[in-house]
């Protein structure tokens, strides 16, 4: 069993869940106290010690089923119908199912709230309908099976013999659909089992509608890495006398030793500073596909850094720091930025030159060698004046300046892209449209070798 | 608390008025057995804090609560030297030599115990609730690590203070910030969500036994409808209970559109939300939700 559990954790790690040795030890310790034969307890005990976030939990659920019940699954697929008919509560005649009977059994299970029976019945229903002719899209199949079974929420038509049937709760029906969905997903995993173990789940994940929030976790990871790197950079300044301020009070105090003559100067201690970051993010139409990614990068940055000011721009620039600070939910933020971001959107075309001018006038006061400026944009000026000299000024004032471009390097400087004009003032310009690129950027910033592509 | 099995824990929690679902009961059980802190996450108002309180009642332990906020530092969370008393001691010392005084003023007598210290030093085992840990800085989290993994605390002048009794530690988070891996690693993880219909009904009825079952069911159904909307702040369990009490006071027999509009402000607390709820849910209430058998 221990080996099984280790194998399970290995697979979880393969899916990107951080399972440390301490988690494993906890899991074993927890299992000493729960009943191994109770599936729910066993699963919860593992989940609480191993999966430490909602995302992890989701992966855990999927893998748990696959890993611990694979053998049972394989058999079920092979023997399918007959096994269930013998073991489960609903009695088919072993070969074919009576639709009515199956539907009736499901109603009963739903009314009783019997999870186990519902699970069995869901498998049964899939075996009866979905096998071989499944559309491959889980959601579609779920609805198809539900309709064929004649299950709808609300009042139910009377039975064939004219008997009353209890109404079905919306709630109960969703419960059953959930079982159906899960069983179908497991089925899908089983069918693709020829692939190496880590593949099917990743495929499945990708098959789900890709939402920006899915990538969010990965972006957050990369950014938190970046935070650590940036925080330790620039500390070499500590201990230098240059630019230090005399602490008058402490100097006077020290002068008491020497009869009031301030022989030794006391300086204000230098505090290790926190990095100040300015992020400028292009949200124009030319980068539409990338801007969701960029916004999620911004979102993650805001999670990690206190001293961060973010700006979005198209033709003009607008500060959105407050939106990020007041809202947490990514979708809300994205909505707010598009609705009240206040980006003066006259023509919809980016005007980089103007953006630099505005940025410089707005916050040139605050820019100092401690600040890092990160630009997210494609450097496509739509033929307008790039004002590279203004950009140079920004670069000079700021400590570091990085550019992340959502286009492959190949396309830079083609068409209206003026990347070259800006690139020479940057401390680094990178192509960046996936989390992988982001990690690469983080590594380069930290002076490490770039990650292999 | 007879903590023989998960079911016992669940029962004893129910006895003090907290209906835990399976995962919550199991995690509470494991927390006591393994002596590990529990990290509870979930939306606002699903009973995260209440779980800690119920645990303290069920185990008969005292509850030590540390409410987190931005800028919370160790002087307020762990301990602080009582400067005034130290000064007095120095002034009153008179005869005694400096070394005596020095030893003396850095002793436990001059220590002001803050919640974390209190929880550790208490002769009786306690339940320590660290509420809304996500409101603090990451630095504060790091400071907690020693306490959470070894139940000990280091005071430079005094040395290490180890817990004499094992506290049950519950941390809650509203998920407004990703917590550090280091902290998560030391905790058991529990995600609390809004309860199932049946369980919420039980909870409501537990707190307002006078409410008729049909009305309670309808109330919970309406609450669920409201939660399904995209609101700024969906109603919490506490608000369901408040609403149930309000309906009792109003002497309402049924939730129709009128009672709903009158008492809606109990469950919805944003101007825009109120409009939305009135528009979506209020209309549905005109025709009966479902004829109850």
For A367-418, write each residue's pLDDT tens digit.
877 788 888 888 887 778 888 888 888 888 887 888 888 777 877 887 778 8
Q: Where are the beta strands (DSSP E) in B52-99?
A: 62-67, 79-81
CB A222 within 8 A of CB A299: no
Mean pLDDT of B197-207: 87
> Could you say which DSSP state residue A168 is in?
B
Residue A88 to chain B, least CA–CA distance (Å)? 25
Confirm if B38 and B127 have CB atoms less than 8 A apart: no
Containing A61, the helix (H) or strand (E) segment is helix A54-68
Per-residue pLDDT averaged across A332-343, rounded?
A: 67
If one counts every other C-beta atom within 10 angstroms of the C-beta of residue B275, the result is 11
Distance of CA B46 to the CA centre of its chain: 10
CATH T-level topology, domain B6-70+119-191: Rossmann fold (3.40.50)
pLDDT of residue A141: 72
Under an 8 A CB cutoff, do A303 and B34 touch? no
| Residues of chain A neighbouring B6 (CB-CB closer than 8 A) | 34, 41
Lowest mean pLDDT among A55-69, A91-105, A352-366, B164-178: A91-105
Cα(A118)–Cα(A131) distance, rounded to whole angstroms?
18
Cα torsion at A314, A318, A323, A328 (round to 10°)? 40
Exposed, middle or buried: residue A179 (CB in 10 Å: 0-12, 13-18, 19+)? buried
Confidence at B66, pLDDT banded by 50, 70, 90: very high
Amino acid A80: pLDDT: 45
At residue A244 the predicted structure's pLDDT band, cuts being 50, 70 and 90, is confident
B contact test, residue of A22, A44, A48, A307 with most B CBs within 10 A: A48
Do strands A317-319 and B188-191 pair parallel, antiparallel, or not at all (unpaired)? unpaired
Asked if B247 and B211 touch (Cβ cutoff 8 Å), the reply is: yes
Q: Which helix (H) or strand (E) holds A226?
A: helix A212-232
> ipTM of this model?
0.76
* Percent of chain A whose predicted confidence (pLDDT) is above 70: 62
Indicate the pLDDT class of residue A448, thresholds 50, 70 and 90.
Answer: very low
Residues of A with CB under 8 A from a CB of B: 18, 20, 22-23, 26, 29-30, 33-34, 40-41, 44-45, 47-49, 51-54, 57, 113, 154, 167, 169, 171, 220, 224, 303, 328
Question: Mind listing the pLDDT tens digit for each residue in B238-280?
Answer: 888 899 998 888 887 788 888 888 888 888 888 878 888 877 7
* Cα B286 to the center of its chain, rounded Å: 38
The domain ranges of chain B are 6-70+119-191, 79-113, 197-286
Q: For testing the chain B interface, which of A13, A21, A40, A53 should be mutated: the one with the most B CBs within 10 Å?
A: A53
pLDDT in tens, A152-196: 666 665 555 555 566 666 667 777 777 777 777 666 656 654 333
pLDDT at A101 over 90: no
What are A404-441's pLDDT values in tens digits? 887 778 778 877 788 888 888 888 888 877 777 777 77
Q: Which of A79-83, A129-133, B142-146 has the lowest mean pLDDT?
A: A79-83
Task: Answer whether 0.90 is exceeded by the pTM.
Answer: no
d(CA B7, CA B29): 9
- CB neighbour list of residue A313: distance below 8 Å, 6 or more residues apart: A280, A281, A282, A283, A284, A343, A350, A355, A377
Neighbour tally for B270: CB within 10 Å: 12
d(C-alpha A309, C-alpha A311), whole Å: 7
Asked if B20 and B14 count as a contact pair (C-beta separation under 8 A), the reply is yes
Q: What is the pLDDT of residues A274-306, one digit of tens each?
A: 567 888 888 776 666 666 777 777 777 777 676
Alpha-carbon distance of A357 to A353, in angstroms, equals 6
Nearest Cα residue in chain A from B178: A303
Q: What is the pLDDT of residues A133-147, one digit of tens each?
A: 555 566 677 777 777
Kindly state the percentage of chain B with pLDDT values over 90. 12
Q: Which of B192, B220, B199, B67 is nearest to B135 (CA)?
A: B67
Rounded Cα–Cα distance for residues B20 and B6 (Å): 11
User: Could you give the CA distance from residue B285 to residue B256 in angstroms, rounded to a whole number?
Assistant: 6
Which is higher by pLDDT, B31 or A141?
B31
Q: What is the three-state SS of B111-131?
A: EEECHHHHHHHCCCCEEEEEE
Residues of B in contact with A171 (CB under 8 A): 196-197
Q: What is the pLDDT of residue A248?
A: 85
The Cα A361–Cα B293 span in angstroms is: 71
Q: Do A53 and B189 touch (CB under 8 A)?
A: yes
Q: Which residues of B fall within a CB distance of 8 Å from A45?
A: 26, 30
pLDDT over 90 (residue B127): yes
Is the Cβ pair B184, A52 closer than 8 Å?
yes
Give the pLDDT confidence score for residue B128 in this predicted structure. Answer: 93
Coil, helix or strand at residue B46:
coil
């Amino acid at each position: 069993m221990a080996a099984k559990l280790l194998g399970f954790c290995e697979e979880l790690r393969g899916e990107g869940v951080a399972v440390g040795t301490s988690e494993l030890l906890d899991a074993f310790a927890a299992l000493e106290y729960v009943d191994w034969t109770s599936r729910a307890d066993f699963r919860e005990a593992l989940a609480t010690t191993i999966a430490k976030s909602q995302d992890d939990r989701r992966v855990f659920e999927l893998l748990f089923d696959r890993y611990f019940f694979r053998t049972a699954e394989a058999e079920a697929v092979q023997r399918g119908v007959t096994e269930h008919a013998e073991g489960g509560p609903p009695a088919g005649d072993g070969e074919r199912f009576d639709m009515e009977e199956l539907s009736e059994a499901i109603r009963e299970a739903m009314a009783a709230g019997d999870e186990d029976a519902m699970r069995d019945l869901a498998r049964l229903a899939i075996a009866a309908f979905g096998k071989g002719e499944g559309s491959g899209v889980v959601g579609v199949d779920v609805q198809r099976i539900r309709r064929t079974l004649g299950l709808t929420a609300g009042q139910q038509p009377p039975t064939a013999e004219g008997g009353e049937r209890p109404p079905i709760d919306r709630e109960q029906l969703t419960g059953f659909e959930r079982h159906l969905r899960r069983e179908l997903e497991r089925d899908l995993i089983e069918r693709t089992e020829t692939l190496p173990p880590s593949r099917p789940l990743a495929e499945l994940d990708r098959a789900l509608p890709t939402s920006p929030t899915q990538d969010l976790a990965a972006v957050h990871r990369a950014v938190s890495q970046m935070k650590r790197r940036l925080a330790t950079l620039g500390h070499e300044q500590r201990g230098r006398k240059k630019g230090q301020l005399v602490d008058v009070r402490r100097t006077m105090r020290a002068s008491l030793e020497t009869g009031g003559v301030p022989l030794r100067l006391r300086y204000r201690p230098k505090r290790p500073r926190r990095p100040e970051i300015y992020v400028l993010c292009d949200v124009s139409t030319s980068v539409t596909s990338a801007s969701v990614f960029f916004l999620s990068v911004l979102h993650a940055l805001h999670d990690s850094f206190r001293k961060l000011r973010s700006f979005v721009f198209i033709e003009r620039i607008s500060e959105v720091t407050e939106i990020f600070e007041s809202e947490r939910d990514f979708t809300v933020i994205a909505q707010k930025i598009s609705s009240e971001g206040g980006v003066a959107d006259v023509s919809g075309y980016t005007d980089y030159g103007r953006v630099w001018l505005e940025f410089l006038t707005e916050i040139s006061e605050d820019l100092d060698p401690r600040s890092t400026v990160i630009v997210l944009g494609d450097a496509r000026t739509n033929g307008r004046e790039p004002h590279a000299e203004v950009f140079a000024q920004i670069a000079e004032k700021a400590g570091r300046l990085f550019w992340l471009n959502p286009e492959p390097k190949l396309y830079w400087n083609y068409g209206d892209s003026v990347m070259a004009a800006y690139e020479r003032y940057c401390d680094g310009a990178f192509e960046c449209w996936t989390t992988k690129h982001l990690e690469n950027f983080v590594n380069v910033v930290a002076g490490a070798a770039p990650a292999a592509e | 608390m007879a903590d023989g099995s998960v079911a016992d824990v669940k029962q004893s929690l129910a006895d003090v008025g907290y209906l835990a679902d399976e995962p919550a009961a199991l995690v509470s059980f494991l927390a006591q057995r393994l002596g590990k802190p529990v990290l509870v996450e979930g939306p606002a108002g699903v009973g995260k804090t209440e779980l800690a309180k119920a645990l303290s009642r069920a185990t008969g332990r005292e509850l030590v609560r540390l409410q987190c906020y931005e800028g919370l530092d160790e002087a307020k969370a762990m301990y602080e030297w009582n400067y005034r008393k130290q000064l007095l001691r120095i002034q009153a010392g008179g005869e005694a030599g400096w070394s005596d005084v020095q030893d003396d003023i850095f002793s436990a007598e001059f220590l002001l115990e803050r919640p974390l210290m209190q929880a550790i030093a208490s002769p009786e085992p306690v339940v320590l609730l660290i509420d809304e840990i996500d409101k603090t800085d990451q630095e504060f989290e790091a400071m907690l690590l020693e306490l959470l993994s070894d139940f000990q605390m280091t005071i430079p002048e005094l040395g290490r203070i180890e817990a004499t009794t094992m506290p049950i530690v519950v941390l809650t988070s509203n998920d407004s910030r990703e917590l550090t891996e280091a902290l998560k690693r030391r905790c058991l993880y529990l995600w609390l969500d809004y309860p199932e219909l049946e369980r919420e009904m039980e909870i409501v009825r537990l707190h307002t036994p006078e409410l008729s079952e049909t009305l309670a069911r309808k109330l919970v159904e309406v609450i669920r409808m409201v939660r399904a909307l995209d609101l700024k702040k969906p109603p919490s369990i506490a608000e369901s209970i408040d609403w149930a009490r309000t309906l009792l006071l109003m002497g309402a027999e049924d939730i129709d559109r009128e009672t709903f509009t009158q008492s809606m402000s109990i469950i919805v607390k944003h101007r825009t939300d109120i409009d939305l709820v009135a528009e979506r849910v209020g209309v549905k209430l005109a025709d009966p939700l479902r004829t109850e058998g």
